Structure 1
Amino acid sequence: MRITPDCSSGADVSCAPTCDSDPGRQPVLLSAEDACASYIQRGALSVSRAGVFWLQTEPALGITALWHLTDQGPARLGPQGLSIRSRVNGYGGGALAASDLGVFVVSEDQQIHFIDRMDGHCQQLTEERGVAYGGLVADPTRHRVLAVRERDGQQQLVAVGPEQGIQILHCGQDFYGAPALSDDGCHIAWVSWQLPDMPWLRSELWTAVVTESGWLRGCETWPTPSEASVQQPVFAGDTLRILSDHGGWWQPWRLDPDGINGDWVTCDVPHLDHANAPWQLGESHHVSLVGGGWARVRYCNGTGELWLLDQDGRQGRRLAPTFSDFRDLCSVGAELYCIARSSRRLDAVLAINPGTDQVRVVAGGEEAMKGNSPALPQNFVVPAGSASEPGIQGFFYSPTSAEPENPPPLILVAHGGPTSAAYPVFNPHIQFWCQRGFAVAEVNYRGSSGFGRQFRLALAGRWGEADVEDMERAADYLAECGLVDGRRLFIQGRSSGGYTVLMTLIASRRFAAGASMYGVTDPLRLRAATHRFESGYLDWLLGSPHQHPERWHARTPLHQAGRIRTPMIFFQGGQDQVVVPEQTRAMIAMMQAAGLSPELHWFDDEGHGFRQRTSQITLLERLLDFYQRASFS
């Protein structure tokens, strides 16, 4: 059996349930309300000489608010009720950018505003209908902000300022992302990609000179030595570094236009991914530091590690080892800032001194369980079955209930994406289940990011097959190890994870019940209705429907609904524009026509991913009741 504690979680080597260390104290039960509290939003930190700014979700109000650091501590900034969110590509990202006098933000209605750091005054800079902005990057030299603008199904790289208005800097590519400016504002780099590709399959690096008037001159592309996904260009003086996976992993490369052996110069780093899949704009997993050197994130067996390295990428040392994932790396002055996640704490904004390695929590980072010991992630690896079945990694959580059953029932979780990943970080929903006697396992099936390009692309043409095989292998492995009760296996997933759940239950009778949260049920209809960003993704996942019609039919849950003999529960938002509500309605109708009795819980005001606290609470409570009934049926 190969199951070990996550190296940064502090979990015991033993696989026994992790109960409270004080036997005389009864643990406080985490309620559904507690599991749906406010949190710092990942992918939303920006710093400048004006200060430190971040976004924080507030489910009780249904908004994402702007916060900043004051002399008295964290405080809200900007008008009351202002909700900040980008909708570019459907997933957003890069909705704020700090400048010297304040911060640029994208409001819920997709307009760009500038908020003054001193008095909180909010100035609206755009007033357009039918647009979305994201990927903001401040241009303090010209008191403006760079952005990706999406309008009428097309994207452009633009600049927006209070005096200049909107300047279109570059157009003609299907998608844009990751604009980066040199310190003097004279050079720019960005990434683009074309349909039908996704940015983690194939993308391209661009550079240009920025003229005094703010326009671009000398735009050119820099082809990689082989097919690759590139992301996150960063300037360090006149040197440009970028993450590319043409060597098999997302690793940092230096662009050398005058290089004798080619433009792309490798850095001396381990063969690990140094970023995750760029579903959102504004990602930052590496940053140049004042005085030289770099801070970089690397993913080792599913865990994010933060490393400090010299200018050549050598002589590294790990920072903040008690945290297990890092996003939004940025620096100002002598300090490094990031959003960090841990298995024991709530998400935190960290300030790190690279000279002393001192870590300071700026905001968030509270003890997650109010004095109780949370269930901690234990790293497990399902051994490779054959050359076509590689080893599968995941995180296992033992129950923390006062009198845990031995072995306990298991909730197997399929993450969304499917090109995403599970991380060993505090998740209040997992704690909710563990406190009620369930074990939980999150599985990084084939197609997940963080394990190299080959593993990530292994899902091509095999969605609904390879991921299903890996979920089944993980469940069987944990049961064979005696960690869970093989007769009480449950499986759940959101979005594409819901699709994996349905395809698993069509293929298998291992599971006692399944739950789909706004999951895909009809890929062909989704292909016709989905937003432009993912319009070619399904053909990559399943192959062309014209060339492989039998494959599409066999891997469409709607067509196989009668084969599901497992109790099912569905959750769907009425405003979902990714997996449209008709997908779930049609699946329910087909299952009912086959004599089945699925449960459906409908939320008229929710979209793709429930944002309102009342909806999240209802989901947990209904799901708990469903699993408890299925456990004793």
Structure 2
Amino acid sequence: MSAYEACAAHTQRGGLAVSAAGVFWLQSDPAEGNANLWYLSEQGPARLGPDGLGIRSRVNGYGGGALAASDTGVFVVGEDQQIRFIDLADGTCSLLTDDPGATYGGLIADAPRQRVLAVREAGGEQQLVAVSVDGELRTLHSGQDFYSAPALSADGRKLAWTSWQLPDMPWVRSRLWTAGVVQDGGLRECRHWPTPSEASVQQPVFDRARLWVLSDHAGWWQPWYLDTLIGDGLWHSGQSAELDHANAPWQLGECHHCPLANGGWARVQYRNGSGELWLLSPEGGDAFRVARDYSDFRYLRASGGSLYCVARSATHLDAVLQIELQTGQARILAGGENPLPGSRPALPLDIEVPALEHGEQPVHGFFYTPKLASPELPPLILMAHGGPTSAAYPVFSPQVQYWCQRGFAVAEVNYRGSSGFGRKFRLALEGRWGEADVEDMERTADHLVSVGLVDGRRVFIQGRSSGGYTALMAMIQSRKFTAGASMFGVTDPLRLRAMTHRFESGYLDWLLGPPGANPERWRERTPLYHADCIAAPMIFFQGGQDKVVVPEQTRAMVDAMKAAGRTSELHWFEQEGHGFRHQANQADMLERMFSFYRRHGRKANERAENMS
């Protein structure tokens, strides 16, 4: 499998919406680098909407919620960030907003009022708004720094949402709100519902008189409900397992739990980084797990006697699933293709690295053995995920398969700060970015070497975005890595703090502490100032249109390494942003990285042989 084929195979699906009109989802086109609207026709999956209509929200820089379905059509956010309505009766696509400088996301359809609710971002502010099919824009609520997850009751008379204020991130501290919806569509009696203790709340959903939400005030993102008829403000436990039932809300529009027509529930829970889908019978009865072949689930939607979702697995591409509630039987509606015909992909093996201190949680990750047979122990590539409050999941990755088919072992590490392991583990990175995450990456490498799975003389480390920062800090602090790679990684946190987008403007202070109070820590944790400490070679990849980690960050780091006499390579992709979207560029990046690793891995072997 060539790098080009690996990337071309990876069609992603997401943004699922279900209504009386049908089942709709977004599907990426790797060749074009954008997402298109698809639906389930009588003949099977089919494109919907005019040619060239790319769909993507950029709210908060990471988007989400760019699709919502009503009974007569579909609302979408185009690449120009304006909302459109596709009428299913005649196929027309109408522009509903003409709002230069604004971005929209988090769409939900308000079918009885023939409108869509959305989060609007413009001029450094956000509002909760409604947009009618006639193009009328109405502000429903404002005054909070950030908005997310609008949810309507079945009768359309109640609305819930979440918000948070700077400098917080939504996975640190956020608020739950409700309001009544009056006849003309406005809101009344807006109020927020304090959690029993500090918490991150997400994904509110109404189920008759109860408002359910995922809150981590008890240590995990678990289901809790409030009785909105009584309105006493009491939080009632959903009696669920002590596991996260959602991941970090980087994007709008996520849904990991939903009520079912039979009175039961569908819920996702993450166990050691792997997602499980459970159906619960009414009144808290027996629960049973479904779709066991899959390890991550997003966008849960219920309609009639079925549950719909987007599911991912370690062996196949993303699939749109329909699950019969009565039997639990799963049927693939779209996707689920075998990306490697004629061969079996490398499968993830759970790894657990013991905690450093008693009472702390171990570090989990996923290890992939190489497919290329060799009598020698394989070289290892450690992958640091981005975020850093994100996570690695045991799902098909063309990049991982690419390395395994070329003789490398791969370890994806859920270091401290990753989501999916509870609030305490997620917040353990506060003030310790570039330290705790680096410790966990190094300990994972040591563990894999000590148990005889990989060659300790050839250990590489790489990461994207904040994962690139972790890789750089590891290269600065350790001599155990043969070479490293940074893909649009952070190199100067203080400069990034001054230039990054509003969503993450307070995040760096949380990760490193306020710079005025911790100037030495910021200097110690700035890769740019320690380029001379990087003894091993580094390769860098950067997009010229990156608005998150601005391109100057990478250029300055490469220049500093060259000035210090260190080995570095820079590969520039002018039309790419934060995350490469075009398959040809993804393939080129892999091929260049492979050549780089192979060259320096060979040199490391030669040095080891000469020393012996």
Deviations 1:226-277 (A, max 9, x none): 0000000011122210000000000000112577995100011110000000
Task: Tell me the CA shift for residue 367 of structure 1.
Answer: 1.7
Q: 1:267 maps to which residue?
A: 238
Task: Please say if 1:503 is aligned against 2:473.
Answer: yes
Asked if the contact 2:16–2:25 (Cα under 8 Å) also holds between the matched residues in 1, the reply is yes
Aligned-partner Cα distance in 2 for 1:166–1:258: 30
Task: Please say if 1:456 is aligned against 2:426.
Answer: yes
Asked if the contact 2:209–2:229 (Cα under 8 Å) also holds between the matched residues in 1, the reply is no
Question: Structure 1 residue aligned with 2:286, among 293, 300, 315?
Answer: 315
Question: Structure 1 residue aligned with 2:177, among 191, 194, 206?
Answer: 206
Q: 1:528 maps to which residue?
A: 498
Aligned-partner Cα distance in 2 for 1:558–1:117: 54
Q: 1:586 maps to which residue?
A: 556
Question: Structure 2 residue aligned with 1:329, among 271, 287, 300?
Answer: 300
Task: Please say if 1:36 is aligned against 2:7.
Answer: yes
Q: 2:268 maps to which residue?
A: 297
Q: 2:400 maps to which residue?
A: 430
Q: 2:606 maps to which residue?
A: none
Task: Tell me the CA shift for residue 348 of structure 1.
Answer: 0.3
Q: 1:552 maps to which residue?
A: 522
Task: Tell me the CA shift for residue 63 of structure 1.
Answer: 1.8
Kindly tell me: are residues 382 and 339 of structure 1, through their superposed partners in 2, closer, same or farther at Cα, counting changes over 3 Å?
same
Asked if the contact 1:250–1:452 (Cα under 8 Å) also holds between the matched residues in 2, the reply is yes
Task: Tell me the CA shift for residue 405 of structure 1.
Answer: 4.4
Aligned-partner Cα distance in 2 for 1:200–1:436: 38
Question: Structure 2 residue aligned with 1:133, among 104, 118, 127?
Answer: 104
Asked if the contact 2:10–2:398 (Cα under 8 Å) also holds between the matched residues in 1, the reply is no
Structure 2, unaligned stretches of length 5 or more?
A: 604-612
**When the two structures are superposed, what TM-score results if normalisation uses the length of structure 1?**
0.94
Question: Structure 2 residue aligned with 1:350, among 317, 321, 325?
Answer: 321
Q: Secondary structure at the match of 1:127?
A: coil
Aligned-partner Cα distance in 2 for 1:291–1:51: 20
Q: Secondary structure at the match of 1:33?
A: helix
Aligned-partner Cα distance in 2 for 1:366–1:542: 43
Task: Tell me the CA shift for residue 314 of structure 1.
Answer: 3.9
Asked if the contact 2:543–2:551 (Cα under 8 Å) also holds between the matched residues in 1, the reply is yes
Q: 2:412 maps to which residue?
A: 442
Aligned-partner Cα distance in 2 for 1:57–1:196: 33
Question: Structure 2 residue aligned with 1:45, among 16, 30, 34?
Answer: 16
One-letter identity of the residue aligned with 1:593: A
Aligned-partner Cα distance in 2 for 1:304–1:66: 26
Question: Structure 2 residue aligned with 1:156, among 124, 127, 132?
Answer: 127
Aligned-partner Cα distance in 2 for 1:364–1:450: 26
Q: 1:226 maps to which residue?
A: 197
Kindly tell me: are residues 258 and 61 of structure 1, through their superposed partners in 2, closer, same or farther at Cα, counting changes over 3 Å?
closer
Q: Secondary structure at the match of 2:503?
A: helix
Deviations 1:56-86 (A, max 9, x none): 1112122211111001000100010110000
Task: Please say if 1:180 is aligned against 2:158.
Answer: no
Kindly tell me: are residues 400 and 44 of structure 1, through their superposed partners in 2, closer, same or farther at Cα, counting changes over 3 Å?
same
Asked if the contact 1:399–1:437 (Cα under 8 Å) also holds between the matched residues in 2, the reply is yes
| Between 554-563 and 366-375, the greater mean CA deviation after superposition | 366-375
Q: 1:378 maps to which residue?
A: 349
Count of residue pairs brought into register by the alignment: 603
Deviations 1:562-584 (A, max 9, x none): 10001100000011010000000
Task: Please say if 1:600 is aligned against 2:596.
Answer: no
Task: Tell me the CA shift for residue 597 of structure 1.
Answer: 2.4
One-letter identity of the residue aligned with 1:250: W
Q: Secondary structure at the match of 1:505?
A: helix
One-letter identity of the residue aligned with 1:107: G
| Between 458-467 and 385-394, the greater mean CA deviation after superposition | 385-394
Aligned-partner Cα distance in 1 for 2:500–2:224: 34
Kindly tell me: are residues 381 and 128 of structure 1, through their superposed partners in 2, closer, same or farther at Cα, counting changes over 3 Å?
same
Asked if the contact 2:377–2:455 (Cα under 8 Å) also holds between the matched residues in 1, the reply is yes
Higher relative contact order (CA 8 A, sep 6+): 1
Aligned-partner Cα distance in 2 for 1:586–1:314: 59
Asked if the contact 1:38–1:58 (Cα under 8 Å) also holds between the matched residues in 2, the reply is no
Q: 1:617 maps to which residue?
A: 587
Deviations 1:442-467 (A, max 9, x none): 00000000000000000000000000
One-letter identity of the residue aligned with 1:437: G
Kindly tell me: are residues 84 and 415 of structure 1, through their superposed partners in 2, closer, same or farther at Cα, counting changes over 3 Å?
same
Asked if the contact 1:63–1:82 (Cα under 8 Å) also holds between the matched residues in 2, the reply is no
Aligned-partner Cα distance in 1 for 2:119–2:404: 42
Question: Structure 2 residue aligned with 1:482, among 452, 457, 460?
Answer: 452
Task: Please say if 1:398 is aligned against 2:398.
Answer: no
Q: Secondary structure at the match of 1:632?
A: helix
Kindly tell me: are residues 88 and 261 of structure 1, through their superposed partners in 2, closer, same or farther at Cα, counting changes over 3 Å?
closer
Task: Tell me the CA shift for residue 384 of structure 1.
Answer: 1.5
Q: 2:34 maps to which residue?
A: 63
One-letter identity of the residue aligned with 1:92: G
Deviations 1:158-206 (A, max 9, x none): 0001236101000000000000001111110000000000000000000
Q: 1:54 maps to which residue?
A: 25
**1:570-585 maps to which residues of 2 (within 5 A)?**
570-585=540-555
Q: 1:467 maps to which residue?
A: 437
Q: 1:281 maps to which residue?
A: 252
One-letter identity of the residue aligned with 2:98: E
Deviations 1:582-624 (A, max 9, x none): 0001001111110112000000000000011111111011011
Task: Tell me the CA shift for residue 117 of structure 1.
Answer: 2.4
Asked if the contact 2:104–2:120 (Cα under 8 Å) also holds between the matched residues in 1, the reply is yes
Q: Secondary structure at the match of 2:410?
A: strand
One-letter identity of the residue aligned with 1:471: M
Q: Secondary structure at the match of 1:417?
A: coil
Q: 2:206 maps to which residue?
A: 235
Asked if the contact 1:337–1:350 (Cα under 8 Å) also holds between the matched residues in 2, the reply is yes
| Between 165-174 and 254-263, the greater mean CA deviation after superposition | 254-263
Aligned-partner Cα distance in 1 for 2:2–2:229: 60
Kindly tell me: are residues 313 and 39 of structure 1, through their superposed partners in 2, closer, same or farther at Cα, counting changes over 3 Å?
farther
Aligned-partner Cα distance in 2 for 1:186–1:235: 11
